[in-house]
Structure 1
């Protein structure tokens, strides 16, 4: 059994996590959302790094004492919890409206992208990124059309004062 991950594999996995999360982060940045390019990149990088450390420990202990093995799924649970905390911090309630739910979800997705990249599943990470972009861009346009929102797609301004609907950011 392999006892460590090659440096080139680590660089590829971390680089893919950062690059794919940057795509989602850029979309959030261009819409002037609270968590943008750097935040999404850092979340994916951190997620990938935590899981890579866990995989390295798992590989290092594989040939040693079997009781010393770790469960990488516990690392994923910790990453999910930490990202949930960040996402919750991006959600704001004011004047009966809730803002930042989509940004919180995008942060969560950035973490999933990082975990997928760390496991070497770059195809899954790319598909998640593509689907997230479709959801945020295309569904955002459809949502605005269905609710007669006068705001342009790239405008970060808020809805009319009289609106009580809770828009997603």
Structure 2
């Protein structure tokens, strides 16, 4: 019973629950900022979708850090490969993003929203790994690309 209580309070956790909470909230906020821009443009994947993608990616990383602390047998049999988890998350998000991209005649629609979903997954992964400044910088750059470049293209007569 002490182990269960200790795990719940974060005593033996690789990522104590207050740290996990901050990472999860950061992923939700940063993913939400990207999604908010898509929402304003009335795109098929907006605020909630981007929050959930970033939150899920963050959760997968935090879970992997927790699992790496558990004993699954002799240490020489342990194979922890964080790149596999990143590949799984990006493949899952790419599958979701591909579902909203469609073509009509010679026009391809929603590729930018698909890319923003994929990037929200990356932001979530960064948050889960504790790289909050990196996630914040990527979010700021993403919003700049989505918003500022659209404005500049309109001023230049291209959009």
TM-score by length of 1: 0.81
Note if 1:115 corresponds to 2:125. yes
Pick from 45, 49, 69 the counterpart of residue 39 of structure 1: 49
Q: Name the CA shift for 1:127/1:148 in 2 (closer, same or farther; >3 Å).
A: closer
Q: SS state of the match for residue 98, structure 1?
A: strand
Note if 1:23 corresponds to 2:13. no
Which residue of the partner structure matches residue 4 of structure 2? Answer: none
Q: Name the CA shift for 1:62/1:144 in 2 (closer, same or farther; >3 Å).
A: farther
Unaligned runs of 5+ in 1: 150-169
Which residue of the partner structure matches residue 155 of structure 1? Answer: none
Pick from 116, 122, 129 the counterpart of residue 106 of structure 1: 116
More helix by share: 2
TM-score by length of 2: 0.86
Note the aligned Cα RMSD (angstroms).
1.8
Q: Which runs of 4+ in 1 moved over 6 A?
A: none
Unaligned runs of 5+ in 2: 1-11
CA offsets 1:83-124 (integer angstroms, 9 cap, x no match): 111111111111321110100010011000000000001000
State the aligned residue count: 148
Which residue of the partner structure matches residue 80 of structure 2? Answer: 70
| Counterparts of residues 80-159 of structure 1 (less than 5 Å) | 80-149=90-159
Q: SS state of the match for residue 54, structure 2?
A: helix
Stretch of structure 1 that moved more, 94-103 or 7-16: 94-103
Report if aligned partners of 1:3, 1:60 keep a CA contact under 8 Å in 2: no
Pick from 50, 66, 85 the counterpart of residue 56 of structure 1: 66
Matches of 2:123 and 2:62, distance apart in 1: 13
